[in-house]
Chain A
Amino acid sequence: DVKVTQSSRYLVKRTGEKVFLECVQDMDHENMFWYRQDPGLGLRLIYFSYDVKMKEKGDIPEGYSVSREKKERFSLILESASTNQTSMYLCASSPNIPGQQETQYFGPGTRLLVL
């Protein structure tokens, strides 16, 4: 089974802090994604990556950056956390195999509170 892990389940940070959210997958997937989930808004894509050192902006990239130095690891960075970034953050991965690219496997999520 695919396993996607996220470094923290719960995180509390102060406004202005730099925040790192880590995601690791163990199935050698090429594609990795970061979403945020907010009540009434569903999932919104922040950034995604098709390969090492490659990144693409999603629908809401403002205030975020990402890093993919190794295939299995995709990091989300909040350069200066703000209260409106309080949310649930979900990481996902998928293989670059025709017919399977869209089937994404999700981690358990990180619930971030910015005070």
Chain B
Amino acid sequence: AQSVAQPEDQVNVAEGNPLTVKCTYSVSGNPYLFWYVQYPNRGLQFLLKYITGDNLVKGSYGFEAEFNKSQTSFHLKKPSALVSDSALYFCAVRDGSGAGSYQLTFGKGTKLSVIP
């Protein structure tokens, strides 16, 4: 079984400050990890993913995420938050060791509010 936890329902950060949105995962094999963003009244947009390789992954809009195997975490980060980053963020995981299914398991989402 695979699961994802996003421990914070909401994160507030001042514009220009660094932001972190937390995600921890559980899989029996190798994790494939993803971050998606949802702007108001829109579908989800892919931000970045970790499959293998460097633990620090860079994605769209200046976001990055660090894969930490020992802590089973994949936190999303940005050095300087923008008001336009305000959105709902979803972490997702797939067990990369499994054959056949490409099914992702999503977290419950974290609402990020960047305050001007």
**A contact residues vs B (CB 8 Å cutoff):** 4, 31, 35, 40-45, 48, 58, 90, 92, 94, 99, 101-109
Contacts and interface: CB of A to CB of B under 8 A. Distances in A.
Contact of A103 (B46, B90, B109): B46
Query: Which of B44, B51, B103: most chain A Cβ within 10 A?
Result: B44
Interface secondary structure of A, over-half rule: strand
Interface of B: 9, 32, 34, 36, 41-46, 49, 51, 90, 94, 102-104, 106-109
A35 B104 CA distance: 11
Given A94-B102, A102-B49, A102-B94, A42 B107 contact: yes
Contacts of B94: 102
25 contacts: A4-B43, A40-B108, A41-B108, A42-B107, A42-B109, A43-B44, A43-B90, A43-B106, A44-B106, A45-B103, A94-B102, A99-B51, A102-B34, A102-B102, A103-B34, A103-B46, A104-B44, A104-B46, A106-B43, A106-B45, A107-B43, A108-B42, A108-B43, A109-B41, A109-B43
Nearest to A104: B104
A94 B44 CA distance: 13
Nearest to B109: A42
Query: Which of A42, A58, A99: most chain B Cβ within 10 A?
Result: A42
